[in-house]
């Protein structure tokens, strides 16, 4: 339990450091305020947060990401993810990893995406269910399509590498909401 707390606290610290280091302050009198470089003007940040609580079930997910807009049609970026899943008296799981995403907007309202995701899954089972642990890597390759308005995209993605009863996903089709600022 202590090790899991340390992993969670370490991840939280890194995430907060990442978020707070993105902003800079310039308070020099008499100097013109410098504008952002062209690179940073094209970068957008987003991601996902998930919380789920029930009588005997808890899920917490943090998944920040960033993309670089090469032009009005194409963007690519990176993301990281951490999830904690616990079903009392059954199992506990820590899932962490990263992803690379490419976005293509043939027209302003339509967004096509390709994303490869690599997650490490560490699960421990209660003794009543046989005890023990299950540790593995889960790789997913998603192809997606969505409706885009401003910086929000609603859509559906398909995991090309999906195999029934294997991995972390219950279905090959997964709806999504993608937001970048």
- Give residue limits of the domains in the chain: 2-19+37-179
- Percent of the chain scored above 90 by pLDDT? 64
Give the pair of three-digit tokens for residue 85.
Answer: 């899943």
Confidence of residue 48 (pLDDT cuts 50, 70, 90): confident
CA distance 150 to 179: 9
Write down the architecture of domain 2-19+37-179 according to CATH. Answer: Beta Barrel (2.40)
Whether pLDDT at 7 is above 90: no
Whether pLDDT at 12 is above 70: no
Give the mean model confidence (pLDDT) for residues 127-132.
78
CA separation, residue 95 to residues 104, 154, 170 (Å): 28, 24, 15
pLDDT of residue 16: 47
CA separation, residue 10 to residues 2, 5, 7, 43, 82 (Å): 12, 8, 5, 26, 11
Strand order in the sheet with 57-69: 43-53, 57-69, 74-87, 91-107, 110-125, 133-149, 152-159, 173-179
pLDDT of residue 127: 74
pTM of the model: 0.75
pLDDT of residue 18: 44
pLDDT of residue 20: 42
Give the mean model confidence (pLDDT) for residues 50-57.
90
* Phi, psi (deg, nearest 5) at residue 19: -65, -45
CA separation, residue 11 to residues 4, 47, 77, 91, 140 (Å): 11, 15, 20, 21, 22
Whether pLDDT at 89 is above 90: no
Give the mean model confidence (pLDDT) for residues 134-146.
96
Which of the residue ranges 103-107, 117-121, 132-136 would you say has the lowest mean pLDDT?
Answer: 132-136
Q: What integer best gives the mean pLDDT of the chain?
A: 85
């Amino acid at each position: 339990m202590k090790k899991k707390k340390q992993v969670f606290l370490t991840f939280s610290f890194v995430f907060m450091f990442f978020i707070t280091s993105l902003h800079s302050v310039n308070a020099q009198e008499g100097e013109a305020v410098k504008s952002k470089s062209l690179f940073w003007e094209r970068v957008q940040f987003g991601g996902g947060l998930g919380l789920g609580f029930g009588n005997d079930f808890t899920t917490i997910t943090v998944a920040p990401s960033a993309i670089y807009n090469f032009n009005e049609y194409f963007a690519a970026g990176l993301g990281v993810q951490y999830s904690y899943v616990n079903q009392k008296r059954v199992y506990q799981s820590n899932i962490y990893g990263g992803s690379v995403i490419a976005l293509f907007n043939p027209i302003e309202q339509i967004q096509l995406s390709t994303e490869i995701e690599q997650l490490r899954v560490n699960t421990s089972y209660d003794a009543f269910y046989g005890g023990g642990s299950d540790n593995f890597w889960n790789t997913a390759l998603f192809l997606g399509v969505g409706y885009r308005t401003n910086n929000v995209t609603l859509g559906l993605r398909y995991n090309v590498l999906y195999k029934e009863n294997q991995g972390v996903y219950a279905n090959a089709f997964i709806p999504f909401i993608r937001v970048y600022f």
